[in-house]
Amino acid sequence: MATDYKNTLNLPRTDFPMKADLVSREPERLKKWEAAELYDKIQRQRAGADKFVLHDGPPFANGDVHIGTALNKILKDIIVKYKTLRGFSVPYVPGWDCHGLPIEFKVSQEMRKGSAGGSPANFDAVIIRKACDAYARKYIDLQRTQFKRLGVLGDWENPYLTLNKEYEADELRLFADIVARGFVYRGKKPVYWSIPCRTALAEAEVEYQDHVSQSCFVKFPVVGQPKTFIVIWTTTPWTLPANLAVAYNKDFQYVSVKVGDENYIVFRGLLAAMAAKCGWANYTETPFPAEKLSKLEYQHPFCHRTGRVFAADFVTSDTGTGFVHIAPGHGQDDYNLGRANGLPIYSPVDDDGKFALTNDLPVEQQMPAEMVGKSILEKHGKSDANEAVLHELRVRHALLHQENYHHSYPHCWRSKTPIIFRAMDQWFIKIDHKVGQASRLPGECVSASSQEIAPTASARAGETPALLSFRAAALAEIDRVKWIPDWGVNRIKGAVRTRPDWCISRQRTWGVPLPAFYDAKGEAILDAQIVRNAADLIEKHGSNIWFEKTAGELWSLVKPANWTGAEAVAKSNDTLDVWIDSGSSSRAVLMRRQELSHSALHTPNSALDWQADVYLEGSDQHRGWFQSSLLLSLAGNGAAPFKTVLTHGFMVDADREKISKSKQGGYEKPQTAEAYVKKYGADVLRLWVASQDYRSDIVVSEERINKVGETYRAIRNALRYQLSNLYDFDPAENSVPDDKLTGLDRWILGEFSKLEAEVLAAYDQYEFHVVYQKVSQFIAVELSSVYHDVIKDRLYTDAANSPRRRSTQTALHRLATGLCQMLAPILAFTADEAWEFLPGKNVNSVHEANWKSQTFVLSETENNFWKILFALRTNALPELEKSRQSKSIGKALEAKFSIKFPKPKVERGMEHLGSYLILGDWTGLEVNSLVSAETIQILQEILNVSKIEAAISDSVKAWEFIVSKADGQKCERCWHWETDIGQNAEHPTICGRCVEAVKQFKA
């Protein structure tokens, strides 16, 4: 009776599919997670564990999830999942930034369309705000679905929204503390102004673009010196009506240049360039001592007033004339110089960006009547205001030269138009506010519930602290934070060092009201207690109440009982800068939400109790959220809100352009995360994100994603191979103890342990691309091309329960478990899918697992032994291949492989194998171990041949390989060539080893 021996083999089997089919399978897994309430379950399991808080920077609640936002969320999720696996309690509270111009802009547009030409100004503020609220919530729902689809786990049902009334109230309470400490003032200062958006802008709302300005060289007649002029140069002719002074640099050499019958005073270093531009062919120059300049007075070129000349360091020698025209109402340097010299902060421009007369100067000293009403807003590079000024200069023969000037100029992030600097009354946070001596600010001990500020120790002791500026305190605080990559520290320091006072008021509707009032004289009332009362009111009713109630009603609701100040007659219509919203999350989220508290540290009155472990955002946030969060938290809570700040670059396309809707050759690069998820699945996108060194910009290309797709398949196949050989393995029953494992299994577990140590270090340093490289390399080399291949024979042909097969299954089980955990932070879906097929798991989802490192350490001797065997394999395989090529053998299993080693030499008391030293380090190894029965069996497996003959010989000087045909016959079951075939009458066609396996199979 012929037996079908194929049925007696332990062939692999598993239901873990080869084809990933992520696009349809991932959503099913998401449903499973939701049904199991996986996030909540994990939080419960980790209750009481050490806490790790990654605080989410809130994306704007408009539009689909951009691919760059997806990158940010995936990186955060990798950290959250990794730290969770390592046993931490890692609550993740996602947030959304809900107020602000982008939404108000869109909503106003839609309302205008719907109302047949009505202007949004005609709409009641409350109506606009309700529409904005609905708009924001619509996109929060949409983005929430898209973030979940990426596999991001978090408290999606309870996110923080800056439009929530509790959030708004906490934001105002933080603001009240800052008001109480004297940081906030109302002043007339130049601010960035967007004409189309009719609002002041924050630093972070300004973007620099290339711009062509109309620059001009203008003659300012010197009073009392006929035909003598100071020459200024400007790129903003529209600021000339606001000119009140001229600045020079006292370190420059000035000259008086005689051209025809006129004399021009200019900086000597720029004379040649000017002469070329103005076409001065013949001129003579005489020195004009700088110290005489400050005595000069000049006549404004077209207004009935005179101005004076002041020294200033900001006058540079690279372009222009060495003189800077000063309009204190239109520039920061100008403002400072104007203030220092008692000039009015004159800004003759209205909210629409049109020339207007003001009360700062007598009307007859202001611009000619025909200029009033001309608009500064540029259309196609020209503006009515610039044209009117240039015309005026031309007719008065004051224009020496005019040309186009290419430079980088600030633009409004929404309307993309050039911004203007414009002095107006706004609310500011004073950055150079004097805050005290301690490098920590007072109020270190503020908690969310307490409104009282604890004095610092030194203040309590009655010392007189030397005053420290808030800017210096912020710079010192920056040094206490860890910045990754480390250049982040310089970037944020640079931003903080140079930033002007923070303009925090906006003339917009969709925001948190700035709860100030005005008295009958028009004086502003901003009081910490009033702000706190307003916060309580808003926490109860929402911030619409500020817009619904009259000033009188509000005043009666929030006026402190013991108020002795002036009575309010009007309320402020300003809203707070949206960067105050998101920047207040330290108070409104970190301090407010119980699950984020590090209370286990038992440091209730210290910042450590609420500080987040990590903030992670794009590198533009050094100017944005990192900075606003730091400044507000330091001013209001007494410490930075973060311990570590991680930054990532941006998604750029192959031309290093920021990803935008650029159509090139009719091909539109998708910008939304969804486009990629629908094509590749979330896990391939996640793996691709992990594969990139995110510290610099990330190039998005289909080619790169496809390449990562190949790695994904290799990982999946490796997991599948392991799982498919564990179908009859119960780790509790069948595991083999470490010291009983076969050498080969010990070797792979040793290698895996090394990999694991490297992967853990990489995760701990947030270097996910290193995780990707190490894991994919290990799967390609150690697993796929060595171990998985070599163990096939023993897995399939040994008796199912043989110690050797169980040993290898023990190793495979550990490898699969370890790989699932190692990959789970990145391949959130696939690792979980594979985990389901693991026998003997103690939790249902890999994301609930507790990843303990395996630390399987081989002795140095054992390690060296394996290094030598694999070096031998590398040298032997080509010999086998040669024999196959020459047809002297067919398959490798037909081969007998004879190795002759030369007799060891003894030198300096050490035995060694002459030329085989190249094979590796022999420390601790005996040469005879190379020809032991165990080694021969291993060599047979790793070379996949039927027979090995190894001997130490006098006759060879270097090693020798001889490949010949194996003796005996081919076993029908295992295909090895053996000499014991036919010895068993019952099984005449199979080898002795197979006879044993078949016997056990039957039993």
Q: Using CB under 5 A as the criterion, what x/- string covers residues 930-969 for binding Zn ion?
A: ----------------------------------------
Residue type, 585: S
Residue bearing tokens 């140069």: 233
The angle, 0 to 180 degrees and rounded to 10, between the axes of the packed helices 768-778 and 803-823 is 160
- Determine the size of the site formed for Zn ion (CB under 5 A): 5
Q: Does residue 193 contact residue 377 with C-beta atoms inside 8 Å?
A: no
Binding residue for Zn ion (CB under 5 A) from 580, 994, 995, 998?
Answer: 994
CB of 936 to Zn ion, least distance (A): 17
Identity of the residue, 137 or 792, whose beta carbon is nearer to Zn ion in the bound complex: 792
**Which residues are registered as beta bridge partners of 898?**
949, 962
Residue bearing tokens 């009332």: 525
Residue closest to 849 by CA, chosen among 887, 872, 868, 823: 823
CB of 981 to Zn ion, least distance (A): 8
**Which residues are registered as beta bridge partners of 911?**
906
CB of 971 to Zn ion, least distance (A): 3
Instruction: Give the contacts of 322 (CB within 8 A, at least 6 positions apart).
Output: 248, 249, 252, 254, 266, 267, 268, 269, 270, 315
Q: Does residue 557 contact residue 549 with C-beta atoms inside 8 Å?
A: yes
Q: Strands 245-248, 306-311: parallel, antiparallel or unpaired by DSSP? A: parallel
Identity of the residue, 9 or 42, whose beta carbon is nearer to Zn ion in the bound complex: 9
Binding residue for Zn ion (CB under 5 A) from 374, 587, 896, 973?
Answer: 973
Residue closest to 835 by CA, chosen among 821, 815, 854, 825: 821
Rounded distance, CA 573 to CA 508, Å? Answer: 8
Identity of the residue, 773 or 984, whose beta carbon is nearer to Zn ion in the bound complex: 984
Identity of the residue, 779 or 990, whose beta carbon is nearer to Zn ion in the bound complex: 990
Binding residue for Zn ion (CB under 5 A) from 176, 179, 930, 971?
Answer: 971
CB of 991 to Zn ion, least distance (A): 4
CB of 988 to Zn ion, least distance (A): 12
Question: Six-digit token pair at 170?
Answer: 């906490």
Rounded distance, CA 173 to CA 159, Å? Answer: 20
Piece in contact with Zn ion (CB under 5 A), picked from 291-299, 327-335, 861-869, 990-998: 990-998
Rounded distance, CA 347 to CA 200, Å? Answer: 14
Rounded distance, CA 140 to CA 134, Å? Answer: 10
Instruction: Give the contacts of 193 (CB within 8 A, at least 6 positions apart).
Output: 199, 200, 201, 353, 419, 420, 421, 422, 424
Rounded distance, CA 9 to CA 318, Å? Answer: 84
CB of 797 to Zn ion, least distance (A): 6
Binding residue for Zn ion (CB under 5 A) from 343, 554, 591, 991?
Answer: 991
Piece in contact with Zn ion (CB under 5 A), picked from 401-409, 434-442, 864-872, 986-994: 986-994
Identity of the residue, 121 or 985, whose beta carbon is nearer to Zn ion in the bound complex: 985
Identity of the residue, 563 or 975, whose beta carbon is nearer to Zn ion in the bound complex: 975
Piece in contact with Zn ion (CB under 5 A), picked from 242-250, 477-485, 760-768, 974-982: 974-982
CB of 948 to Zn ion, least distance (A): 16
CB of 146 to Zn ion, least distance (A): 56
Binding residue for Zn ion (CB under 5 A) from 293, 791, 974, 998?
Answer: 974
- Please give the distance of CA 83 from its chain centroid, rounded to a whole number: 18
DSSP string, 763-787: HHTT-HHHHHHHHHHHIIIIIIIII
Q: Does residue 435 contact residue 468 with C-beta atoms inside 8 Å?
A: yes
Identity of the residue, 478 or 974, whose beta carbon is nearer to Zn ion in the bound complex: 974
Residue bearing tokens 């390690």: 863
Footprint (CB under 5 A) of Zn ion, residues 897-936? none
**Which residues are registered as beta bridge partners of 229?**
221, 264
Identity of the residue, 172 or 799, whose beta carbon is nearer to Zn ion in the bound complex: 799
Identity of the residue, 60 or 977, whose beta carbon is nearer to Zn ion in the bound complex: 977
CB of 876 to Zn ion, least distance (A): 23
Identity of the residue, 669 or 987, whose beta carbon is nearer to Zn ion in the bound complex: 987
Identity of the residue, 537 or 994, whose beta carbon is nearer to Zn ion in the bound complex: 994
CB of 973 to Zn ion, least distance (A): 5
CB of 811 to Zn ion, least distance (A): 23
CB of 796 to Zn ion, least distance (A): 11
Identity of the residue, 390 or 971, whose beta carbon is nearer to Zn ion in the bound complex: 971
Piece in contact with Zn ion (CB under 5 A), picked from 125-133, 336-344, 927-935, 971-979: 971-979
DSSP for residue 233: E
CB of 879 to Zn ion, least distance (A): 25
Identity of the residue, 592 or 973, whose beta carbon is nearer to Zn ion in the bound complex: 973
CB of 45 to Zn ion, least distance (A): 49
Residue closest to 513 by CA, chosen among 579, 588, 571: 571
Q: Is 140 in the site for Zn ion (CB under 5 A)?
A: no
Rounded distance, CA 951 to CA 933, Å? Answer: 11
CB of 152 to Zn ion, least distance (A): 52
Piece in contact with Zn ion (CB under 5 A), picked from 52-60, 115-123, 482-490, 983-991: 983-991
Identity of the residue, 774 or 970, whose beta carbon is nearer to Zn ion in the bound complex: 970
Identity of the residue, 798 or 832, whose beta carbon is nearer to Zn ion in the bound complex: 798
| Range 775-784, long-range pairs (CB < 8 A, 24+ positions) | 775/715, 775/819, 775/822, 775/823, 776/711, 776/714, 776/715, 778/751, 778/752, 779/714, 779/715, 779/718, 779/819, 780/714, 782/748, 782/751, 782/752, 782/755, 783/718, 783/748, 783/815, 784/714, 784/717, 784/718
Rounded distance, CA 726 to CA 16, Å? Answer: 12
Instruction: Give the contacts of 421 (CB within 8 A, at least 6 positions apart).
Output: 190, 191, 192, 193, 330, 331, 332
Q: Which residues bind Zn ion (CB under 5 A)?
A: 971, 973-974, 991, 994
